[in-house]
Amino acid sequence: MKLLLLVAAVLAVSSCASISLEDMEFHAWKLKFKKSYDSPSEETHRKQVWLNNRKFVLIHNALADQGLKSFHLGMTYFADMENQEYKKQISQGCLGSFNASLPRRGSTFNRLPKGTKLPKTVDWRKQGYVTKVKHQKECGSCWAFSATGALEGQHFRKTGKLVSLSEQQLVDCSRSFGNHGCNGGLMNPAFQYIRYNGGLDTEDSYHYKAKDGLCHYNPNSVGAICNGYVDVSPDEAALKQAVATIGPISIAVDASHESFQLYQSGVYDEHRCNKKHVTHAMLVVGYGTEGGHDYWLIKNSWGLQWGDKGYIKMTRNKGNQCGIATAASYPLV
C-alpha cells in the first residue's frame, strides 16, 4: 500500500513538472474570464495566439518599466484574439456610420473667454456624476453606454440624483433615428431619440440583455429626459472646457490597436492612432497629469477586468490623438 502511494506521489510530481508556467498562466486566465473552446484544435490555436500576445505584453512592459513607455499592458479578455479579430468584434458596426467630414447637427458648445482659468485636474466620479462601470458584452452597443453615461451625468447635475439609465432601451428602440442595436449606432441619434420619446427608462426597469430585442419602453419608469444635445468643437481645448464646466462628455476614439486591446494602466499613448477613423465610443469623466504626461480620464464599457478597473487614461494635448475630440457631445437636460 505504501509503495502504491509512493508511486502515485512520484507520478503526480512528474505530471506537475511537465506543466509549464505558460500552461498554468493560460489555465488561470481561462478561469478568470470564463473562456472555453469548442474543440482541442481551437484551444490549441487560441493558446498560441495568447502566447503571442503574452510575448508582446512582456516586451512592452519591460520598456514601460524602463520609462520608455507611459503605460502598461495586461492579458485582458481579448488576449486570445489576433488583432484583426479584436478589431472586427469591437467595431462590428459600433460606430460604422460615423463620418468625420459630415456636418454635425447639434447646438454648438460656447467656448469660454480667452484667459479663463480651468482646474488642473477634474474627476467627476468624486462629485457623484458617474455610475459604476458597466459591460456591453458581445454586443456592438458602445454608443448606447456612452450616451447613457453622459445623460446620467447631466441628470445628476440638474437634480442631484444619480440614476443608472437603460442602454437596452436605446438598443431596442432607437432604430428609427438611425441606430442599429447591437450592430452599431451613434450617441447623437440616441440623444435625439430620448428627446422625442419623452425620456429614457432606468436600468432597473429595463435591464441590459446584450442582444437586440423588441422595444418595451415604459413611460412610468423614466429615469431622465433630454432636451437636445450639444456638439463640442473637434479640438482638445474645447473638450477640456466642456469637461471642466459641463461634466462627463460622450466621445469616440480609434481603439483598433493591440495596445488598446491589451491596455492595463498608465497614460495610453499610441502614435499610430487615426484621429478621423474612430471605432469605439466611451465617456470622458475628467482629465489631469500623471508622471509628466497629460491625460484624459475615460470610462469604458468593457467591465471592471479591462484596463484600470474599467477606465483608461488617454494622452492629452498631442494633436487630438486617437480622435479623442473628433466626435464629442453631451445631452441637454
Which residue numbers are catalytic? 142, 280, 300
**Three-state SS at 29:** helix
In order, the DSSP letters of 109-148 are P-PPPTT----S-EEGGGGT--PPP-B--SS--HHHHHHH
Q: Which three cell numbers stand for residue 138?
A: 458581445
CA distances from 259 to 44, 70, 96, 203, 268 (A): 24, 12, 21, 32, 8
Q: Which three cell numbers stand for residue 82?
A: 489576433
**Where in 147-279 does DSSP place strands (E)?**
200-201, 222-224, 229-231, 249-253, 263-268
Burial class (CB in 10 A: 0-12, 13-18, 19+), 2: exposed
Give the DSSP letter of residue 181.
G
User: In angstroms, rounded to a whole number, what is the distance separating the alpha carbons of residues 210 and 135?
Assistant: 9
**Three-state SS at 323:** helix
Which amino acid is residue 153, in one-letter code? Answer: G
Q: Which residues contact 76 (CB under 8 A, 6 or more apart)?
A: 261, 262, 263, 264, 305, 306, 307
**Three-state SS at 214:** coil
